[in-house]
């Protein structure tokens, strides 16, 4: 009996010790759209380099991340917001949702990739492209440019990620509107373009996973998406995906990083910020996750040639106009265009 009691007390002591160790771990919460693969990898590397730290990441759409940071302003739950188009970070900075931080490498980045008040900095720049199922289409058959998507032959052959929660899709839609807005000063012609695209769109999908499954199963032939995910889904998961870089140019979206204002683990957030934007981390992300770095002081001989931003033709865009107008333009699209193009 005494032996059983001793074993029981020993087991209880181990459990209590384990619980104490768990509560003693420093907790860092990261909101990000960068996907479970990159997030898992970077979190585990950071934890290994910082014993006693636990990184909790939440993978969500870019717009969802902004909305969540905004709704939690009086009681912040995240420490770091990592990833999403720079206009969303511009909006957040204007609303005082971000805590300024000047990283050690600030002088190694172009002013176009950062906030002048240090509220956010760019980590990657991401081209948006035409992505297609390579078992259904060849590169010669796929659309060559954005306007080719409006050809009636693509009716019910396009699937899109729902743009309301997706920073990638918002950036693409903004780019299509801005091509006409820059000349006319009005979004009307751009909205008409989106109405014609809607006429060819079979479905809008709630998250990237559903988009990949729909495309890989042949439920649709093509979509509009970001280039790193084309490579990632093809090379890591064997999906039959390929892409066309539109002839007129691609939206080159700066992906930001920032510390959330009022972060509970602000000093740890700074460490994570520096860790994922270090030279080694950026080269690692370029090689394994096809991310194009914004820092200019890297050894680019270590980075795949296709991950060099200088190789891409960029569409001229006004990202501050995006920050000012995107919500109103997307609300108009949702109320007046979504699922209505076929009836026009």
Q: What is the DSSP string of 282-334?
A: HHHHHHHH---B--SSS-GGGS-GGG-GGGSPBPP--HHHHHHHHHHHHHHHH
Residue among 216, 259, 241, 243 at smallest CA distance from 129: 243
Contact 55/247 with Cβ under 8 angstroms?
Answer: no
Q: How far apart are CA 302 and CA 110, in angstroms?
A: 21
The length of the chain in residues reads 344
Q: How far apart are CA 89 and CA 99, in angstroms?
A: 11
In a domain, 14, yes or no: no
Contact 194/176 with Cβ under 8 angstroms?
Answer: yes
Q: Average of pLDDT values for 88-107?
A: 97
Reported confidence tier of residue 2, pLDDT bands at 50, 70, 90? low
99-118 b/e with 16+ CB inside 10 Å = b?
Answer: bebebebeeebeeebbbeeb
In a domain, 18, yes or no: no
153 and 245 housed in the same domain: yes
Tens of pLDDT, residue by residue over 244-254, are 999 999 999 99
Q: Average of pLDDT values for 124-135?
A: 97
Q: Average of pLDDT values for 109-125?
A: 96
Give the number of other Cβ atoms within 10 Å of residue 170's Cβ.
26
Contact 121/115 with Cβ under 8 angstroms?
Answer: yes
67 and 180 housed in the same domain: no
Please say if the pLDDT value at position 122 is more than 70.
yes
In a domain, 10, yes or no: no
In a domain, 140, yes or no: yes
216 and 261 housed in the same domain: no
260 and 112 housed in the same domain: yes
Please say if the pLDDT value at position 262 is more than 80.
yes
Q: Average of pLDDT values for 41-64?
A: 96
Residue 54 structure tokens = 């636990």
Helix (H) or strand (E) holding 85, with range, is strand 80-85
137 and 205 housed in the same domain: yes
- pLDDT at position 310 is 77
Residue 20's Cβ-count burial label (10 Å; 0-12, 13-18, 19+) is: exposed
Please say if the pLDDT value at position 21 is more than 70.
no
In a domain, 78, yes or no: yes
Domain range spanning residue 276?
A: 25-125+253-311
210 and 297 housed in the same domain: no
264 and 206 housed in the same domain: no
Please give the torsion angle defined by the CA atoms of residues 69, 73, 74 and 75, in that order, rounded to the nearest 10 degrees.
Answer: 20
- pLDDT at position 159 is 98
Any long-range contacts for 232-241 (C-beta under 8 Å, 24+ apart)? Answer: 232/35, 232/37, 232/289, 232/290, 236/37, 237/212, 239/212, 239/215, 240/133, 240/134, 240/135, 240/216, 241/131, 241/132, 241/133, 241/134, 241/212, 241/215, 241/216
- pLDDT at position 311 is 83
- By percentage, how much of the chain surpasses pLDDT 70? 93
- pLDDT at position 316 is 92
Angle at 259 between CA 253 and CA 261, to 5 degrees: 120
Please give the torsion angle defined by the CA atoms of residues 129, 42, 124 and 79, in that order, rounded to the nearest 10 degrees.
Answer: 110
Among 8-17, 269-278, 319-328, the minimum mean pLDDT is found in: 8-17
Residue 122's Cβ-count burial label (10 Å; 0-12, 13-18, 19+) is: buried
Counting the structural domains of the chain, the total is 2
Angle at 328 between CA 323 and CA 331, to 5 degrees: 125
In a domain, 335, yes or no: yes
In a domain, 12, yes or no: no
118 and 139 housed in the same domain: no
32 and 68 housed in the same domain: yes
268 and 180 housed in the same domain: no
Tokens 């659309």 correspond to what residue?
A: 143
In a domain, 50, yes or no: yes
Q: Average pLDDT, whole number, for the chain?
A: 92
The CATH number linked to 339 is: 3.40.190.10
Q: How far apart are CA 129 and CA 230, in angstroms?
A: 9
247 and 257 housed in the same domain: no
Please say if the pLDDT value at position 19 is more than 70.
no
- Where does 134-275 show beta strands of DSSP type E? 158-161, 201-205, 222-226, 241-244, 252-260
Reported confidence tier of residue 282, pLDDT bands at 50, 70, 90? very high
297 and 182 housed in the same domain: no
3-state SS of the chain: helix, strand, coil percent to 5?
50, 20, 30
Tens of pLDDT, residue by residue over 219-237, are 999 999 999 999 999 999 9
pTM, two decimals, is: 0.86
Residue 236 structure tokens = 């890591």
């Amino acid at each position: 009996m005494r032996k059983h009691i001793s074993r029981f007390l020993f087991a209880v002591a181990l459990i209590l010790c384990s619980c104490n160790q768990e509560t003693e771990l420093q907790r860092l919460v990261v909101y990000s759209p960068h996907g479970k693969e990159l997030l898992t990898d970077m979190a585990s590397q950071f934890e290994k380099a910082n014993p006693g730290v636990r990184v909790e990441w939440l993978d969500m759409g870019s717009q969802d991340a902004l909305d969540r940071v905004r709704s939690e302003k009086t009681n912040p739950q995240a420490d770091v917001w990592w990833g999403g188009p720079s206009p969303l970070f511009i909006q957040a900075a204007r609303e005082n949702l971000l805590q300024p931080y000047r990283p050690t490498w600030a002088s190694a980045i172009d002013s176009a990739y950062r906030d002048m008040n240090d509220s956010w900095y760019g980590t990657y720049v991401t081209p948006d492209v035409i992505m297609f199922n390579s078992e259904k289409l060849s590169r010669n058959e796929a659309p060559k440019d954005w306007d080719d998507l409006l050809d009636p032959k693509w009716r019910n052959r396009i699937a899109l990620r729902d743009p309301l929660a997706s920073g990638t899709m918002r950036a693409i839609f903004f780019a299509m509107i801005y091509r006409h807005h820059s000349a006319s000063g009005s979004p009307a012609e751009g909205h008409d373009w989106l109405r014609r695209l809607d006429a060819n769109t079979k479905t809008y999908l709630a998250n990237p996973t559903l988009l990949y499954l729909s495309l890989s199963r042949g439920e649709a032939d093509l979509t509009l998406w970001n280039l790193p995910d084309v490579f990632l889904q093809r090379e890591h998961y064997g999906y039959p995906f390929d892409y066309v870089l539109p002839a007129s140019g691609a939206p080159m979206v700066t992906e930001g990083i920032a510390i959330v204002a009022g972060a509970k683990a602000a000093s740890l957030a700074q460490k994570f910020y520096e860790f994922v934007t270090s030279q080694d981390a950026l080269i690692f992300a370029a090689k394994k996750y096809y991310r194009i770095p914004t820092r200019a002081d890297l050894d680019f001989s270590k980075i795949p040639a296709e991950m060099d931003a200088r190789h891409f033709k960029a569409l001229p865009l006004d990202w501050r106009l995006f920050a000012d107008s995107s919500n109103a333009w997307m609300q108009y699209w949702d109320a007046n265009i979504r699922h209505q193009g076929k009836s026009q």
